[in-house]
Chain A
Amino acid sequence: MNALVVSPILLPLLGAVLALAWRNSPASQARIALWTSAGVIVIGISLLAALGGHGLAITQLGGWPVPAGIALVSDGLSAALVTIAGLMIFTAVAYRRLSLRESDPGHCFHPLLLALLGGVCGAFLTADLFNLFVWFEVILISSFALLAMEGRSQQIRASVSYVLLNLIASALFLIGLGLVYGKAGTLAMADVGLIYQQASAAGNGGSLDLAFALLLVAFAIKAGAFPLYAWLPASYHTPSHAVSAVFAGLLTKVGVYALIRLTTQVAPGADWIREVLVVIGMLTMLMGVLGAACQSEVRRILSYHIISQIGYLIAGIAIGGPTAIAAVVFYLIHHIVVKTNLFLVGGIIDRHRGATLSRAAGLASWTLLTIAFLVPALSLAGIPPLSGFAAKLGIIHAAAGAERYGIVAVALITGLLTLYSMIKIYIAAFWTPPERVVRHRFGLIRTSPMLGLAALTVVMGLAAGPVANWSQSVGTLIHNVDAYRRLAQVETQIAEPTPPHDALVRSQP
């Protein structure tokens, strides 16, 4: 189990090393990237199979016990997200080779993509706040390099706003971590949660609340939440098509994942965070979808839709409780698959018809591509029987259950406007008859990366029952902070639960 938990991080980084060493052969680099990400998928699936909805696995790096050392913990959510992250990188590499048929992407492309995968997996697996910060930095550096790599002036401008806002988030995160460590004496997530519960029961949780406010702002920037999402639409339409699909699928979701851990484990019972998130969630949904309505470029429309979808996720986190978090888990997985899929199709439209929608037309003659667009687009808008319907239903159901009718109303309006945007793209790029006849064909092999993800959406929609059952038990587990604490203690065979700062002092040389 030890090896299984650490290998989703280890494997991509080793792959990056190999790809760096083979830097003169783009073909073998791509092969390394494919095999490595396939390996991550396999590891993720076996973790998922081993853990199910209730299981937890831990490894304490270097054998150092938790308050002093760093633990990697995998629950069902981490395992599922690791699997999906591997799948997205795999699809992006395959898409670049099969669908775009681009030649040499530069010898740093594949190593950076693998480093990004390693960083994302690290963020999903770590149970330590400072370690989470480190993985955020790994993700930031590799995504910055991927964004600016081709060096067009538009990309440089985009990467400046991207890095600037994300560095502000990192600084706030770091200051918050300093405060948490100063007050709680530990950075292990579940331990901080326990100390916070004790402190707020004694009526002096105030200084930890301040630290959590800083973490909240940092994670909200990373997630692309209102009003701090400006970096996202400024940058996502500029990099190469495969890269922007990976960004769309994975980057903001790491922020959302951190918000889930913050509200459930690090700051359990901090109701003010959830009250803030309710407002942020509703505004993010509305602003995102309204922003999309007034855009006219495919990838820009889709970028704004990422923001509105983040709003759903944040609203779900804000409602809180096992049912809502279960809905968020389902939504998160659905969203990563669908969003990456749409960006992949958007890349094809962009490539063959240019960025602006008014000049795109006649893609409906490519039947397979039309299917590969319509399935995720309708899923995004929440049309049954696709995965988006079950995902949206879960969030709305949880909101109604918690009597948050504002969220219900906003979620329904946003769903309708999402459908409008998707139809706008469909009519402009696919349905409108072309000015000139399309000569070359777009066959099964070229569309296969997109069709594969579309099939996953359909399967997830049809198997919504079992998936929802699984996410329900994951949602319950995530709220069980004690389970995460006991896990570390059992592993190190500490019979008596020791206060974390004592253990820290003893282990210092």
Chain B
Amino acid sequence: MIRSPIISTTLSWLSPVLITVALFLLLRGHHEPGGGFAGGLIAGLVVILEGSTRGVARARQILRLPPRLWMALGLGAALASGLPGLLSGQAFMTAAWFSIGTLKLGTPLLFDLGVFALVTGVTASLALPLMEDEP
């Protein structure tokens, strides 16, 4: 753990910005570069930054759920996004779309959300135990 008031203070406003960037990349990814993987890596980065400067307990508090559950949720959501296509007799992963007003939502977004959660979970479950072992 790096005990530095400068980094710690900076992080208190940097973390929300990074999370926003992560979500921005996640939503942008359908048509442009970005997506769940890139977004998930940045969200994982926030967990690592928080863990290494303000302690692992703080990082786990930000995550709310244990990393392994994030992995399970993410993989589950990504797989579930392929099921509507399969159940309607089309190929697995065939996109299903619906609209709320002008907002067009579909299973690819669920897939990206799943990848986002999975990547964040994997990053956290790899990094946090390593930081915990420090004396």
Binding site for B on A (CB under 8 A): 2-3, 6, 10, 13-14, 16-18, 20-21, 23, 59-63, 107, 509
Is B94 engaged at the interface, CB distance under 8 Å to the other chain? yes
Name the A residues within 8 Å of B93 (CB-CB): 61-63
Q: A10-B79, A17-B76 are in contact. Are A2 and B71 (CB under 8 A)?
A: no
Interface size on B, residues (CB 8 A): 18
In the complex, the answer to whether B79 meets A17 with C-beta atoms within 8 Å is yes
Q: For chain B residues 69-97, which have a beta carbon within 8 Å of chain A?
A: 69, 71-72, 75-76, 79, 82, 85-86, 89-95
Name the B residues within 8 Å of A62 (CB-CB): 85, 91-95
Binding site for A on B (CB under 8 A): 31, 68-69, 71-72, 75-76, 79, 82, 85-86, 89-95
Nearest first, the 3 A-B pairs at minimum CB distance are A20-B72, A62-B93, A6-B92
Distance, CA A227 to CA B90, complexed state (A): 46
Name the A residues within 8 Å of B89 (CB-CB): 2
Most buried by A among B31, B79, B92: B92
Residue of A nearest to B92 (CB): A6
In the complex, the answer to whether B94 meets A20 with C-beta atoms within 8 Å is no
Name the A residues within 8 Å of B68 (CB-CB): 20, 23, 107
Residue of A nearest to B75 (CB): A17
Residue of A nearest to B94 (CB): A63
In the complex, the answer to whether A59 meets B75 with C-beta atoms within 8 Å is no
Apart from the given pairs A20-B68, A21-B72, 6 other A-B contacts in the complex at a CB distance below 8 Å: A13-B75, A17-B75, A62-B91, A62-B92, A63-B85, A107-B68
Residue of B nearest to A16 (CB): B75
Q: A3-B86, A6-B86, A23-B68 are in contact. Are A13 and B95 (CB under 8 A)?
A: no
In the complex, the answer to whether A63 meets B71 with C-beta atoms within 8 Å is no
B3 to nearest A CB, angstroms? 30
Name the B residues within 8 Å of A3 (CB-CB): 86, 92
B8 to nearest A CB, angstroms? 33
Name the B residues within 8 Å of A107 (CB-CB): 68
Most buried by A among B68, B71, B93, B95: B93
In the complex, the answer to whether B79 meets A61 with C-beta atoms within 8 Å is no
Name the B residues within 8 Å of A21 (CB-CB): 69, 72
Name the B residues within 8 Å of A63 (CB-CB): 85, 90-91, 93-95
Distance, CA A61 to CA B92, complexed state (A): 5
In the complex, the answer to whether B91 meets A2 with C-beta atoms within 8 Å is yes
Name the B residues within 8 Å of A2 (CB-CB): 86, 89-92
Name the A residues within 8 Å of B76 (CB-CB): 14, 17
B25 to nearest A CB, angstroms? 19
In the complex, the answer to whether B69 meets A59 with C-beta atoms within 8 Å is no
Name the A residues within 8 Å of B79 (CB-CB): 10, 13-14, 17
A142 to nearest B CB, angstroms? 12
Name the B residues within 8 Å of A14 (CB-CB): 76, 79
A-B contact pairs, 19 of them (CB 8 A): A2-B86, A10-B82, A13-B75, A14-B79, A16-B75, A17-B79, A18-B72, A20-B68, A20-B69, A20-B71, A20-B72, A20-B75, A59-B92, A60-B91, A61-B91, A62-B92, A62-B94, A62-B95, A63-B94
A69 to nearest B CB, angstroms? 9
Distance, CA A14 to CA B79, complexed state (A): 7
A406 to nearest B CB, angstroms? 46
In the complex, the answer to whether A59 meets B72 with C-beta atoms within 8 Å is no
Residue of A nearest to B90 (CB): A63
Distance, CA A10 to CA B83, complexed state (A): 10
B87 to nearest A CB, angstroms? 9
B28 to nearest A CB, angstroms? 14
A435 to nearest B CB, angstroms? 43
Distance, CA A62 to CA B91, complexed state (A): 6
A20 to nearest B CB, angstroms? 4
Distance, CA A14 to CA B68, complexed state (A): 15
Residue of B nearest to A61 (CB): B93
Name the B residues within 8 Å of A509 (CB-CB): 31
Distance, CA A63 to CA B75, complexed state (A): 21
Name the A residues within 8 Å of B69 (CB-CB): 20-21
Q: Tell me which of A6, A17, A60, A61 contacts B72 (CB under 8 A).
A: A17
Name the A residues within 8 Å of B95 (CB-CB): 62-63
Distance, CA A59 to CA B91, complexed state (A): 6
Q: A2-B86, A23-B68 are in contact. Are A10 and B75 (CB under 8 A)?
A: no
Distance, CA A48 to CA B92, complexed state (A): 20
Distance, CA A116 to CA B108, complexed state (A): 25
Residue of B nearest to A14 (CB): B79
Name the A residues within 8 Å of B86 (CB-CB): 2-3, 6
Residue of B nearest to A72 (CB): B92
Distance, CA A62 to CA B90, complexed state (A): 8
Distance, CA A166 to CA B45, complexed state (A): 27
Name the A residues within 8 Å of B31 (CB-CB): 509
Residue of B nearest to A491 (CB): B91
A119 to nearest B CB, angstroms? 13
Residue of A nearest to B108 (CB): A62
Distance, CA A23 to CA B71, complexed state (A): 12
